[in-house]
Chains A and B, each alone.
Chain A
Amino acid sequence: MRPLGSVHDIPVGEGRAYAVDGEMVAVFRLRDGSLRATSAVCPHKGGPLADGQIDLRQVVCPLHLNAWDLTTGCSLSGQPEVTVYPVRLDGDQILLGE
């Protein structure tokens, strides 16, 4: 489990990228207050997912607008799936991993 810092570093409804043990992880702060984490690199052509737009279900990559389910990592537009990571809040600290 890795602390990534304060949840206030991520604006509501947006994502930010973190380097964690050599992996790049995008953490999203949903409008219902919950968090999701995926690989920061888009499986399509490497786009920055943390720059994507989200709702409670999906993230849309800014480069070619493919979409992924934030909880399962499954693509909603026929792409390979994206890795998802467990993430949760401890107070206002973001904790990544089991």
Chain B
Amino acid sequence: MKQRLVVVGNGMAGARTVEEILARGGDFAITMFGDEPYGNYNRIMLSNLLAGVEDEAGIFLNDLSWYADNGITLHAGTRIERIDRFAKTVYTADGTPTPYDKLIIATGSSAWVPPIKGIRLPGRGYHQGVFVFRTLDDTRAMIRYAREHERAVVIGGGLLGLEAARGLQNHLDHVTLLHAASHLMNAQLNERAGKTLQRIVEQKLGIEVVVDATTTEILGRHAVTGVRLSDGRVIACDVVVVAAGIRPNSQVAADSGLVVERGIVVDDQMRVQDEDDIYAVGECAQHRGQVYGLVAPLWEQAKVLADHLTGADPDAAYHGSRVATKLKVAGVDVASMGLQLPEREDDELLEFAEPGKGVYSNVVIRDGRLVGATLVGDTRKAAFLMQAFDLGLPLPEERAELLFDLGGPPAEVSPAEMADDAQVCNCNGVSKGTICATVTAGCKTVGGVMDKTRAGKGCGTCRPLVQRIVGWATGGEVEEDPAASWYVPGVPMPKPELMAAIRRHELKSVSAVFATLVPGGTEDAKSKMGLASLLKMMWGDEYIDERDARFINDRVHANIQRDGTFSVVPQMKGGVTTPAQLRRIAEVAEKHDVPMVKLTGGQRIDLLGVPKEKLPQIWADLDMPSGYAYAKSFRTVKTCVGSDFCRFGVGDSTALGIALEERYQGIEGPGKMKLAVTGCPRNCAEAYVKDIGVVAIDGAKWEIYVGGAAGAHVRKGDLLATVSSAAEVVQLTGRFLQYYRENGNWLERTYAFVPRVGIDKIRAIVVDDAQAIAADLDAAMDAAIAAYRDPWRERTDPVTPGQFRTSLPLTVLPRVPVRA
């Protein structure tokens, strides 16, 4: 008969150990007990779940079918209350016995809640509004409650507290972080590093931080209304999250007579002291006096235990982990390993602090070996330092190279130089060797390797390195993830292939594309908008415009707002207006009680908060064309005053800007297209950071920059050409835009498109006509321009029934605050 293996605790360590056992062909009849009513999920990801960047489905590591597929009996939602070491049996609360031959305890930790007055209600558990942050259920409850409240206090300024504070910001407006020590993350960081982190957290994230704060009381009768500190200060809040530390779940083990100190005491095989058949792994285990609170050590423990239990490596032994961590804490990069500061007289210290920029780093060296390092705000050097720390690598003579690039070796470790067992993914404990083995086994896409090994699926900071290793391991033959190259998620083709198929089958409507090109003809809501844009670009007048393929903004030619109303931005070419135009806008705003009138960053005027049903009337009263502030299309041309008025102007930027906007207004594309023309290199119209930016230079010339950005990404545009006339600017602009329209991926702005294709290639095609397609590009653009029709003309005869009918007849939405 197979040996019976029972695992108590179905968390990250328990499930991982079982995976490692299965991977070694371990032949056990496995039964697992988990207190939580789920399969195994990635606890680390609870931070992302709280922050709203991951959904629940995305955090599961082993769903219920995994257990079934591997013949494991899982009792989810079942707690083990007692272990009988003599009868070799575990018991659930209702007394159900389960006998074992080998037992693994992997019960993890629980949140430690300090004995603060009012934190618990007798007989009712935590006070209403108080939460801990450990499980999926905790996180769900916290999100539900936080959404309906306004101010949160987080107690504890360690990793967990910072993540909680950051995540809560997603659900309510005000978060205060209380930390009992004098600086944040004091277990990992020294004072200067902790203070630097505090600055970033306060200034960049807007979380209020109070250090040296001992909470003495939770206030509020029926629900939390605030907390009191030992100095008498009261902080009002309606949510309290306690993240003050963790305690190993070792009570059941202790009650059952096992040796427990801080955790369950184990030897180098993870065997519980004095026991033959009982093991412990993960946060509940104490090894050589150490209890760990991060996942990396428990991956190592799981391997050793699996080697030992299956006999795969009879000599397997765990020697403890050197904890080196590279984390994104509340969005800030932090890496720390070993000592925070020198401890001996002759320890070397190298320290660099730039608090204003939120950067701190240090390294501690003893006898020529790295024994500690801390990086906050910039962790580019972390990969090398962690290797040097782990493996005791020799250090460069020029010590400063440990922290800076002195034109010496590149900051990025090259995959070739990395040791096979160097850990790449610190969240999921994946080594370079594992990644290479996966590639060798035939998986040659970055996404595929990530799925198989889970590398890069934790905090994500190692993804670029994973990518490089896969690239290296495949000898540069990385296969692209097919879906990553598709133009839209619902049609399995990259853009060139898709365009060819559309042409071949003469597909002129979005539904025709689904019917013809998708296996089974399945439509996909999330692909419709991209397809509509592409078909319109390809077919112009012949395009069959199915209105349901459009996003709401494009159905009603206005941008939807958070409360379901819309914004109206009339065209104001080049940012130039007239008294008459201003008067008309003012009258319309007054007549229709427009809640806010605002100058936009695009040099025009926005009427915000307009109900859908009022749009046609407002457009009629304005009698101005649409400014297209809602579409993936040509938007604006910002200009400066230029040579007509400015004493420095060397070109008539205003006139050229107006000419450009007049010609290219409303042209759709894969992304927004924002332009600027500026009258001299002082660049008052910010032309260097636009999709296309035109700069007048001395000698009656114009420089044309493309691929600039100053939004979510900041990038100076690349110089496409320097020309001597406004007419050439107008022509090259159109040709570049058409090339982008035909070759850009859906939602790929020019700041990504230009570097992807390469400015040299773009210049060769657009300026030098190397592919002899310039005439075609020009002709296609001319046709698109000829098809332009101001969409606000639809005001007189709506295109669909109820086009402008309100979608929310009764007002229940959060109302946008109205400013006078």
Give the distance in Å from the alpha carbon of A15 to the alpha carbon of B548 in the complex.
9
**Once the chains bind, are B548 and A13 in contact (CB under 8 Å)?**
yes
Give the distance in Å from the alpha carbon of A18 to the alpha carbon of B551 in the complex.
20
**Once the chains bind, are A17 and B809 in contact (CB under 8 Å)?**
yes
Q: Name the B residues within 8 Å of A18 (CB-CB).
A: 809
**Once the chains bind, are A51 and B564 in contact (CB under 8 Å)?**
yes
Give the distance in Å from the alpha carbon of A63 to the alpha carbon of B566 in the complex.
12
- Binary contact readout B553-581 vs A (1 if CB under 8 angstroms, 0 otherwise): 10100001011100000000000000000
> Which B residue sits closest to A15, measured CB to CB?
B807
Closest CB-CB distance, B141 to chain A, in whole Å? 13
- Pick from A46, A49, A65: contact of B812, CB under 8 Å: A46
Closest CB-CB distance, A43 to chain B, in whole Å? 11
**Once the chains bind, are A51 and B547 in contact (CB under 8 Å)?**
no
Give the distance in Å from the alpha carbon of A50 to the alpha carbon of B803 in the complex.
11
Q: Is A95 an interface residue (CB 8 A)?
A: no
**Once the chains bind, are A14 and B548 in contact (CB under 8 Å)?**
yes
Q: Name the B residues within 8 Å of A8 (CB-CB).
A: 801
**Once the chains bind, are B57 and A51 in contact (CB under 8 Å)?**
no
A26-B807 contact in complex given A13-B549, A53-B548, A67-B525, C-beta closer than 8 Å: yes
Give the distance in Å from the alpha carbon of A46 to the alpha carbon of B524 in the complex.
23
Give the distance in Å from the alpha carbon of A17 to the alpha carbon of B564 in the complex.
13
Q: Name the A residues within 8 Å of B564 (CB-CB).
A: 46-48, 51
**Once the chains bind, are A40 and B802 in contact (CB under 8 Å)?**
no
**Once the chains bind, are B529 and A53 in contact (CB under 8 Å)?**
yes
Q: Is A88 an interface residue (CB 8 A)?
A: no
Interface residues of B in 787-819 (CB under 8 A from A): 800-802, 805-810, 812-814
- Pick from A49, A53, A77: contact of B551, CB under 8 Å: A53
Q: Is B485 an interface residue (CB 8 A)?
A: no
Closest CB-CB distance, A56 to chain B, in whole Å? 6
A55-B57 contact in complex given A9-B802, A62-B560, C-beta closer than 8 Å: no
**Once the chains bind, are B548 and A17 in contact (CB under 8 Å)?**
no
Interface residues of A in 12-48 (CB under 8 A from B): 12-19, 22, 24, 26, 31, 40-41, 45-48
Interchain pairs with CB closer than 8 A, number: 106
> Which B residue sits closest to A9, measured CB to CB?
B801
Interface residues of B in 53-106 (CB under 8 A from A): 55-58
Q: Is A11 an interface residue (CB 8 A)?
A: yes
Give the distance in Å from the alpha carbon of A61 to the alpha carbon of B805 in the complex.
17
Closest CB-CB distance, A12 to chain B, in whole Å? 6
A46-B552 contact in complex given A41-B808, A58-B525, A78-B56, C-beta closer than 8 Å: no
Q: Name the B residues within 8 Å of A87 (CB-CB).
A: none
Q: Is A54 an interface residue (CB 8 A)?
A: yes
**Once the chains bind, are B814 and A46 in contact (CB under 8 Å)?**
yes
Q: Is A84 an interface residue (CB 8 A)?
A: no
Q: Is A60 an interface residue (CB 8 A)?
A: yes
Q: Is B319 an interface residue (CB 8 A)?
A: no
Q: Name the B residues within 8 Å of A45 (CB-CB).
A: 562, 814
**Once the chains bind, are B809 and A53 in contact (CB under 8 Å)?**
no
Give the distance in Å from the alpha carbon of A40 to the alpha carbon of B810 in the complex.
10
Give the distance in Å from the alpha carbon of A55 to the alpha carbon of B518 in the complex.
14
**Once the chains bind, are A14 and B800 in contact (CB under 8 Å)?**
yes
Closest CB-CB distance, A60 to chain B, in whole Å? 5
Q: Is B522 an interface residue (CB 8 A)?
A: yes
Q: Is A52 an interface residue (CB 8 A)?
A: yes
- Binary contact readout B617-639 vs A (1 if CB under 8 angstroms, 0 otherwise): 00000000000000000000000
Q: Name the A residues within 8 Å of B57 (CB-CB).
A: 78
Closest CB-CB distance, A96 to chain B, in whole Å? 15
Q: Is B511 an interface residue (CB 8 A)?
A: yes
Give the distance in Å from the alpha carbon of A74 to the alpha carbon of B810 in the complex.
24
Give the distance in Å from the alpha carbon of A67 to the alpha carbon of B546 in the complex.
21
Q: Is A59 an interface residue (CB 8 A)?
A: yes
Q: Name the A residues within 8 Å of B549 (CB-CB).
A: 13, 53
- Pick from A24, A58, A59: contact of B808, CB under 8 Å: A24
Q: Is A94 an interface residue (CB 8 A)?
A: no
**Once the chains bind, are A63 and B525 in contact (CB under 8 Å)?**
no
Give the distance in Å from the alpha carbon of A79 to the alpha carbon of B54 in the complex.
11
- Binary contact readout B504-541 vs A (1 if CB under 8 angstroms, 0 otherwise): 00000001000000000011111011000000000000
Give the distance in Å from the alpha carbon of A31 to the alpha carbon of B624 in the complex.
35
Q: Name the B residues within 8 Å of A16 (CB-CB).
A: 802, 805, 807
**Once the chains bind, are A24 and B525 in contact (CB under 8 Å)?**
no
**Once the chains bind, are B814 and A54 in contact (CB under 8 Å)?**
no
A12-B552 contact in complex given A19-B809, A24-B810, A46-B814, C-beta closer than 8 Å: no
Give the distance in Å from the alpha carbon of A85 to the alpha carbon of B801 in the complex.
23
Give the distance in Å from the alpha carbon of A68 to the alpha carbon of B553 in the complex.
20
Closest CB-CB distance, A21 to chain B, in whole Å? 11
**Once the chains bind, are B522 and A56 in contact (CB under 8 Å)?**
yes
Q: Name the A residues within 8 Å of B55 (CB-CB).
A: 77-79
Closest CB-CB distance, A30 to chain B, in whole Å? 9
Q: Name the B residues within 8 Å of A4 (CB-CB).
A: none
> Which A residue sits closest to B526, measured CB to CB?
A60
Q: Name the A residues within 8 Å of B546 (CB-CB).
A: 12-13
Q: Name the B residues within 8 Å of A40 (CB-CB).
A: 807-808
**Once the chains bind, are A17 and B807 in contact (CB under 8 Å)?**
yes
A54-B560 contact in complex given A26-B807, A40-B807, A45-B814, C-beta closer than 8 Å: no
Closest CB-CB distance, A29 to chain B, in whole Å? 9
Closest CB-CB distance, B530 to chain A, in whole Å? 11
Q: Name the A residues within 8 Å of B548 (CB-CB).
A: 11-14, 31, 53-54
**Once the chains bind, are A51 and B802 in contact (CB under 8 Å)?**
no
Interface residues of A in 61-75 (CB under 8 A from B): 62-63, 65, 67
> Which A residue sits closest to B799, measured CB to CB?
A11
- Pick from B523, B525, B562: contact of A60, CB under 8 Å: B525
Give the distance in Å from the alpha carbon of A63 to the alpha carbon of B808 in the complex.
14
Closest CB-CB distance, A51 to chain B, in whole Å? 4
- Pick from A10, A11, A12, A59: contact of B525, CB under 8 Å: A59
- Binary contact readout B7-21 vs A (1 if CB under 8 angstroms, 0 otherwise): 000000000000000
Closest CB-CB distance, B339 to chain A, in whole Å? 41
A17-B808 contact in complex given A46-B813, A53-B528, A56-B523, C-beta closer than 8 Å: yes
**Once the chains bind, are B523 and A55 in contact (CB under 8 Å)?**
yes
**Once the chains bind, are B809 and A11 in contact (CB under 8 Å)?**
no
Give the distance in Å from the alpha carbon of A41 to the alpha carbon of B560 in the complex.
15
> Which A residue sits closest to B814, measured CB to CB?
A46
Q: Name the A residues within 8 Å of B522 (CB-CB).
A: 55-56
Q: Name the A residues within 8 Å of B58 (CB-CB).
A: 78
Give the distance in Å from the alpha carbon of A30 to the alpha carbon of B290 in the complex.
60
Q: Name the A residues within 8 Å of B551 (CB-CB).
A: 53, 62
Give the distance in Å from the alpha carbon of A71 to the alpha carbon of B120 in the complex.
42
| Between-chain CB contacts (< 8 Å), 28 pairs | A9-B801, A9-B802, A11-B547, A13-B547, A14-B547, A14-B800, A16-B807, A17-B806, A18-B809, A19-B810, A22-B810, A24-B812, A41-B808, A41-B812, A46-B564, A46-B813, A47-B564, A50-B808, A51-B564, A52-B525, A53-B525, A53-B552, A55-B523, A58-B525, A62-B551, A62-B552, A77-B55, A78-B55
Shortest Cβ-Cβ A-B pairs, 3 listed: A13-B548, A78-B55, A48-B807
**Contacts A13-B548, A48-B564, A60-B525 known; 10 new A-B pairs at CB < 8 A:** A11-B547, A13-B546, A13-B549, A14-B800, A48-B808, A53-B549, A53-B551, A54-B525, A55-B522, A78-B55
